[in-house]
Amino acid sequence: MATEADKETILTQQGLRKLEDELEHLKTVKRKEVAERIKASKEFGDLSENAEYEDAKNEQAFVEGRILQLEQMLRSARVIDNHDAPSDLVTVGSTVQLKDLATGETLAYMIVGSAEADPDHDKISNVSPVGKALLGRRKGETVTVVVPAGKLRYSVLQINH
């Protein structure tokens, strides 16, 4: 059975750069900041009752955990290059313009791997209900997506790679 460590991380080129930049920042800047906080908080005296020291140690654990997570994701990364994908087919890395058939609203989503999904910035995961339903679709097709709130129906207006 595949473990979490074996799981492939699907990324766009932009997503790969973002993770690499975050890792670099954590290793070169954040580690030093946290080490300075720990050093400064030790000067406050008794460590057993030192909230600043406790906070700094917790932040250190978070930073180190995130560094390990990012390193694992980058080791298992598969960068999607969809320039060779059929231009009329939705793939990971595609930006898809949709029309909500219930409201008439026009939406646009970029389909990305789960590691770089960011719904607030219109980047949805390829394993999300909408992302999964859109993969392999073509312009002009209608897609029905079952979500907890019911069914959503979209028409694919445009696909960009």
Enclosing domain of residue 22: 7-79
pLDDT band for 1, please (50, 70, 90 cuts): very low
Residue 79 is predicted with a pLDDT of 87
> What is the pTM assigned to this prediction?
0.72
pLDDT band for 85, please (50, 70, 90 cuts): low
Q: Over pLDDT 70: what percentage of the chain?
A: 91
Q: How far apart are the first and last CA of the chain?
A: 34
Residue 145's contacts (CB-CB under 8 Å, 6 or more residues apart) are 129, 130, 133, 151, 152, 153, 154
Question: How does strand 142-147 pair with strand 150-160?
Answer: antiparallel
- Distance (Å) of CA 19 to CA 105, 108, 114, 122: 33, 23, 13, 18
Residue 17's contacts (CB-CB under 8 Å, 6 or more residues apart) are none
Where a domain ends, among 31, 64, 79?
A: 79
Domain annotation covers residue 154: yes
d(CA 158, CA 102): 18
Domain annotation covers residue 104: yes
Residues 55 and 123 in one domain: no
Residues 19 and 42 in one domain: yes
Residues 67 and 14 in one domain: yes
CA angle centred on 116, ends 110 and 119, rounded to 5° = 55
Alpha helices in 8-140 (DSSP H): 13-25, 31-42, 51-75, 129-134
Where a domain ends, among 54, 79, 104?
A: 79
d(CA 138, CA 157): 9
Total domain count, the chain: 2
Mean pLDDT, all residues of the chain: 89
